[in-house]
Amino acid sequence: MVTKVSGLVVSLIGLVGLGVVLSAQSELSNAAQTARSAYYHSRARLADDEAAFRVYRPAYSFWQHIFTIPDGSIIFGSAEDGRLLATFPSRGNWARDVVWGEERLVGTVEGRRFSRRLGDRRDEVEALLEAAVGPVVHNPTRGRFLEPHAERYGPFLGEWGAIYERFGVPAEIGLAQAIVESGLNGRARSSARALGFCQWLPRNWNALKRLSPHVIEGYNQTTQAPYCAAYLTILATMYGSFIPALSEHHAGGVNVGRTVINGERLGGENTREQYFLGSDFARELRGIALRRYRQLYRTYGRRSALYAEMVFGNAFNVERLRSQMSQSSVYAMRAPRNIGLAEVTRVTGLSSDEVKRFNPALVRQVPSGANLYLPDYIPEFGRDVSFWHHPVDPTYAAVLDDFVRLDASVEDWHRESFESTLREFQERFEVTGTEEGTVMATILAYVISDLHTSRRGAILEEFRNSDRIQRLFDRGLSELNAVGRVKELQRLVGVDVDGVCGPRTRAAINAHDPNLLATVSACQR
């Protein structure tokens, strides 16, 4: 094949032209290899994350069921592997209306009378199931959060996935985050007015609009995806893992920073271990004395600890939806002028609803400088800026590969001296002149600004070196160990029914280890 192509080129443009073509082919080949290098590095990072989940959160796959079962149910799963065990109606007869996920559990609740309070019922079923299968997890279902939007937007998952991967984010993780945050709905808004794919607050989008040379319409998922992807790959590079990166998106950088530092104090050997150990530490401390140890975790709460787990669990739903739904192309045109909805429907022959499916932000017109998205490229609507349909630019691929391999600790990122490194990458991305490079440069500028204005580095440095915080940490660790000994004693003497400080437990402790109660703050009330 090479010989035939070479002969044709020689006959047309001569030997000089042949050299140019072969050079271009070589350059494209090198670019492809560099792009694959960044891709494989990110996939390896993801594989290490999944291995860590199997150790520290083996039930993470359970969370895929939350968005696949209609609202109005409580589901229970195995804490050992996440498999679905049972589905109970939020309202109704739990002994009669349960749907079992495993046949061997049939009859577990038959003939039982449960408490009227939903929380008490959940606790009672949890105890029954744990006696049969071991530790369990449970949660209300939210199928209506995803189902209608998955039907409408599921055909775009392949295109959106290609966008995420152009920024070094495995498609299933980026899109799983979009499921957890928005149910794939570009117009989703939270009670705090956060909007879109990755639920950024208006002030965040407004900051990006000021930094970006292009018009950003935050309600279009295909507009949001590159920025969400760029932000996630930057955070994953900082932590060396997608797990704390995702958690930071939800809980904030200072909260996650404290969590990682606590995990380091607990002996975690790398950021993943430190994050998981620190996360468990915060959750357990909140369970025994919410206010006493608040300075160790601040607003890092139960959902903060579950967020990354929920995202990784929903990666299964991404793969399921992509395989079940016929995929559609999405092309992007940068509007050279204001383009009205009526004109788009007239030229394309598409219905207004179909045009709005591609462009949820579109009400009357696409503003000049913004992107119009359609299933085909229409030249009169502007130049083609759907970068995910084209081979990766060699210069952008090289910069991205260098960036995702950046060897620096989280502490380094928080030092003022590290700004020059980030500024250098910002400039390198910018000078590529590519759509992806512009997005990365914009997000890097945003991250640099945030690192300064949030005073994150100074706050975490004080947290790391404070004698007062260290004493509080030591006290909390001691109390957790004491609670663990109490629970072990409860199991030995069979009095775990009345809690850590119940009368039967107190009597058993006084009989076996009277000094133990003095170390558990909850028992001093």
pLDDT score of 12 more than 60 = no
The pLDDT score that the predictor gives to residue 215 is 87
Helix, strand counts (H, E) of the chain: 22, 9
Mean pLDDT within 360-375: 95
DSSP assignment letter at 405: T
Tell me how far apart the alpha carbons of residues 494 and 489 are, in angstroms, rounded to a whole number: 8
Do 432 and 396 meet the contact criterion of CB atoms below 8 Å apart?
A: yes
Tell me how far apart the alpha carbons of residues 131 and 463 are, in angstroms, rounded to a whole number: 42
- 436-471 pLDDT, tens digit per residue, is 999 999 999 999 999 888 899 999 999 999 999 999
Segments of 24-113 assigned E as strands? 73-78, 84-89, 99-100
328-361 burial: b if 16+ Cβ within 10 Å, else e: eebbbbbbeeebebeebeeebebeeeebebbbbb
pLDDT score of 492 more than 80 = no
Out of 249-263, 343-357, 377-391, 476-490, least confident range? 476-490
Tell me how far apart the alpha carbons of residues 508 and 494 are, in angstroms, rounded to a whole number: 10
The pLDDT score that the predictor gives to residue 238 is 97
Share in percent of the chain as helix, strand, coil (round to 5): 65, 5, 25
State how far Cα 442 lies from the chain centre.
Answer: 21
Token pair recorded at residue 84: 């679905």
Q: The tokens 């399921």 sit on which residue?
A: 320
Tell me the one-letter amino acid at 319: E
The pLDDT score that the predictor gives to residue 35 is 66
Segments of 141-258 assigned E as strands? none
Tell me how far apart the alpha carbons of residues 116 and 119 are, in angstroms, rounded to a whole number: 9
- 137-179 pLDDT, tens digit per residue, is 999 999 999 999 999 999 999 999 999 999 999 999 999 999 9
Closest residue by Cα to residue 195 from 208, 213, 210: 208
Q: The tokens 């804490």 sit on which residue?
A: 79
Tell me how far apart the alpha carbons of residues 521 and 514 are, in angstroms, rounded to a whole number: 14
Mean pLDDT within 295-303: 93
pLDDT band at 103 (very low <50, low <70, confident <90, very high): very high
Q: Which residue has the higher pLDDT, 503 or 124?
A: 124
The pLDDT score that the predictor gives to residue 30 is 67
Phi, psi of 520 (to 5 degrees): -110, 110
> What secondary structure, in 3-state letters, does 266-322 show?
CCCCCHHHHHHHHHHHHHHHHHHCCCCCHHHHCCCCHHHHHHHHHHHHHHHHHHHHH
DSSP assignment letter at 84: E
Number of Cβ atoms within 10 Å of the Cβ of 285: 23
- Angle between the 171-182 and 242-251 helix axes, to the nearest 10 degrees? 20
- Which pTM does this prediction carry? 0.88
Mapped onto helix, strand or coil, the DSSP state of residue 517 is helix
C-alpha dihedral sign at 174, 180, 183, 187: negative
